[in-house]
C-alpha cells in the first residue's frame, strides 16, 4: 500500500528511524523534506535519492525560540506540505542513587529534545495544517518505554510518557477542531540505531546491536502507517497494548465521554 500523504517533513532524519522512514517515503514515490543538525548527512541523503525528490533543511530543534521562524520558512517554501514526522530524540542514563553523577543540564536537554521541542513544533505547525482541505497528519515517534519504563534511562522514559499522554489528548482536541489533521503515534521497541552508541551512552556495551534490526522495524511500521493506523506499536509494545494499554485507553475514552 501507498502512503496517503504526498510531501512529508521528517525531523531527526540524519540517522536511524528517521533516515529509514524518509527512505520509505522516497521509495513510495512521494516527496520528502529531511531535517537534522548534520548538513553533511542531509546532503548524503539527497545525493543518494535525488534532489528532485528530496529537500533538506539543517535545524536544531532544541533551539526553541527559533522554531516559529523555522516552521514559517518551511511552510512558505513548501505550501503543499501535508505531513510532519516528529522523530528527533536522545537517550541518556541517570542513576539517582548516585546524585553526584546526575548532570541536570543533560537531563534538561534530554527533556527539551524529546518533549518540549515537540510541543513547540506541534503548536507552530497546527495553524498551517488546519487550513488544508485534504487530510494532513502529525506523526510522532515515542517509545515502548512510554508505557513500561527502564531504570537505567528514567528521564527518557518520562519524556516519552509525557509525550504519549499529550498525544492522546491532542488527537481528541484536533478531531473536534477545524481542519482534518490525523494524529499518529509510533511506539518503537529498542531498535538497532545510533541512539545506543557508545558516543552517546558509554555505559552500554555494544549498544548499536541492541534491539530489533532497523529494517525489520521499518517494514512493520510502514505496513501499519500505510494501512492508516493511528497507533503503531511494534515488537514487544504490541503485547503491552494487548495486556493493558488498550484497557487504559478505553478508560480514558470513557472518562472523556462522561465529561462531555
Residues β-bridged to residue 182: 137
Residue of 5, 115, 140, 156 marked active site? 156
Contact in structure between 163 and 122 (CB atoms under 8 Å):
no
Strand ranges of the sheet holding 54-58, from the earlier edge strand across to the other edge: 54-58, 31-36, 7-11, 83-86, 136-141, 181-187, 231-233
Q: Do residues 200 and 178 make contact, with C-beta atoms less than 8 angstroms apart?
A: no
- Closest among 185, 190, 189 to 229, alpha carbons compared: 185
Q: Which three cell numbers stand for residue 134?
A: 485534504
C-alpha cell at 53: 525528490
The span from the CA of 208 to the CA of 143, in Å, is 17
- H/E stretch holding 181 reads strand 181-187
d(CA 61, CA 114): 10
What is the number of other CB atoms lying within 10 angstroms of the CB of residue 212? 18
Residue with cell string 475514552: 253
Identify whether 156 is a catalytic site residue. yes
Question: Which of 81, 80, 68, 160 is CA-nearest to residue 123?
Answer: 68
Q: Which residues are catalytic?
A: 156
Amino acid at each position: 500500500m501507498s502512503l496517503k500523504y504526498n510531501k512529508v517533513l521528517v525531523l531527526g532524519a540524519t540517522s536511524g528511524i528517521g533516515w529509514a522512514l524518509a527512505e520509505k517515503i522516497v521509495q513510495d514515490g512521494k516527496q520528502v523534506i529531511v531535517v537534522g543538525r548534520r548538513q553533511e548527512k542531509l546532503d548524503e541523503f539527497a545525493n543518494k535519492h535525488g534532489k528532485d525528490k528530496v529537500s533538506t533543511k539543517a535545524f536544531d530543534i532544541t533551539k526553541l525560540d527559533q522554531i516559529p521562524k523555522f516552521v514559517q520558512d518551511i511552510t512558505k517554501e513548501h505550501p503543499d506540505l501535508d505531513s510532519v514526522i516528529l522523530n528527533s530524540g536522545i537517550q541518556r542514563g541517570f542513576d539517582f542513587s548516585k546524585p553526584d553523577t546526575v548532570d541536570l543540564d543533560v537531563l534538561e536537554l534530554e527533556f527539551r529534545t524529546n518533549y518540549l521541542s515537540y510541543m513547540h513544533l506541534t503548536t507552530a505547525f497546527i495553524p498551517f495544517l488546519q487550513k488544508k482541505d485534504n487530510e494532513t497528519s502529525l506523526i510522532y515517534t515515542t517509545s515502548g518505554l512510554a508505557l513500561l519504563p527502564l531504570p537505567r534511562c528514567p528521564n527518557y522514559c518520562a519524556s516519552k510518557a509525557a509525550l504519549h499522554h499529550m498525544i492522546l489528548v491532542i488527537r481528541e482536541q484536533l478531531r473536534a477542531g477545524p481542519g482534518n489533521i490525523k494524529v499518529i503515534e509510533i511506539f518503537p521497541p529498542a531498535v538497532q540505531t545510533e541512539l545506543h552508541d557508545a558516543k552517546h551512552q558509554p555505559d552500554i556495551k555494544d549498544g548499536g546491536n541492541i534491539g530489533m534490526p532497523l529494517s525489520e522495524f521499518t517494514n512493520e511500521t510502514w505496513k501499519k502507517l500505510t494501512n492508516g493506523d493511528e497507533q503503531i506499536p511494534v515488537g514487544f509494545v504490541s503485547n503491552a497494548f494487548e495486556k493493558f494499554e488498550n484497557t487504559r485507553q478505553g478508560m480514558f475514552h470513557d472518562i472523556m465521554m462522561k465529561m462531555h
